[in-house]
Structure 1
Amino acid sequence: MSDSASKPRPQFRNLSIPQIMSYRLPLAGKTSILHRISGALLFVCLPLVILPLFALSVTSPESYASIQSWVANPLCKLVLLALIWGYLHHFCAGIRYLVLDLHIANDKHSAQKTAGVVLGVSLALTIVFGLKLFGVW
């Protein structure tokens, strides 16, 4: 009889927040969690922020001008930048998951690389759109 068969499996109950916070996720795990967060952000903001802004902007030229002056506020631009990041990250990670569903790049090394590509591309695109949003070009 081997020792591994006689040892009981460790049970992890009542995990505390510091124990959870000290756990280090691989890059693919972080990308997955950010994909869920960005999806939740978009789900909540679609009816509360995006659709009302769009509806006001297409109502009349006066309402468009009021939205334009409202969006000029730096705090509003930060909220829009967060929404831009949420959309871009969710889009890029969604493409990654579609590729993984086709059983492409399923090994550990490739999954880490594609997770890094998703984070890099989504952040780079967010920076580009953020520069445009803040009027650099």
Structure 2
Amino acid sequence: MQTDNRPLSPHLQIYRLPFTALTSISHRASGVLLSVGALVLVYWLAALAGGPASHASASAVLGNWFVQLLMFLWTFALFYHLCNGIRHLFWDAGYGFELETARKSGVAAIVAAAVLTLVAWIIAWSA
């Protein structure tokens, strides 16, 4: 069988998104997750205002390990959106557009979000 170097169809090629594109998509996704998490926050505040019985019911729901995991991820989304938003503010000012700088600032936003999430949960569990 003869093989030649003709280009493949686009659906046969493997595309890899640049890191900056992934951080941009993640920023939008974290914004959506924050909206959903805000609804959970409203539920908790309404239960708090509803009295001891509704607060106990909400505490039982929100104390579940799976819901706690979702809240941990929501906290990460919050801090990621914050850190990446600060990164975007620098971009709006005209700084950090070089490829290497953009990659480093993206990594820094992810690391800072992880550290802030861990610190927030450590403080919350120790209180």
Shorter-chain TM-score: what band?
0.7 to 0.9
1:56 alignment partner, one of 25, 35, 47: 47
* Structure 2 runs not aligned, ≥5 long: 1-7
Paired position in structure 1 for 2:61: 70
C-alpha RMSD of matched pairs (Å)? 2.5
Q: What whole-Å deviation, never above 9, does each CA across 1:31-63 have from its counterpart, x for those lacking one?
A: 11110111111223433x221222112332443
Aligned partner (choices 21, 26, 30) of residue 34 of structure 1: 26
Identity of aligned residues (%): 29
Unaligned runs of 5+ in 1: 1-11
What is the TM-score of this pair, normalised by structure 2?
0.77
Q: Does 1:99 align with 2:82?
A: no
* TM-score after normalising by structure 1: 0.72
> What's the CA shift string for 1:51-96, capped at 9, x where partnerless?
1222112332443333333322111101111211111111111111
Aligned to 1:129: 120
Which of 101, 104, 120 is the aligned partner of 1:110? 101
Moved over 3 A (4+): 130-133
2-side partners of 1:28 and 1:117: how far apart?
Answer: 12
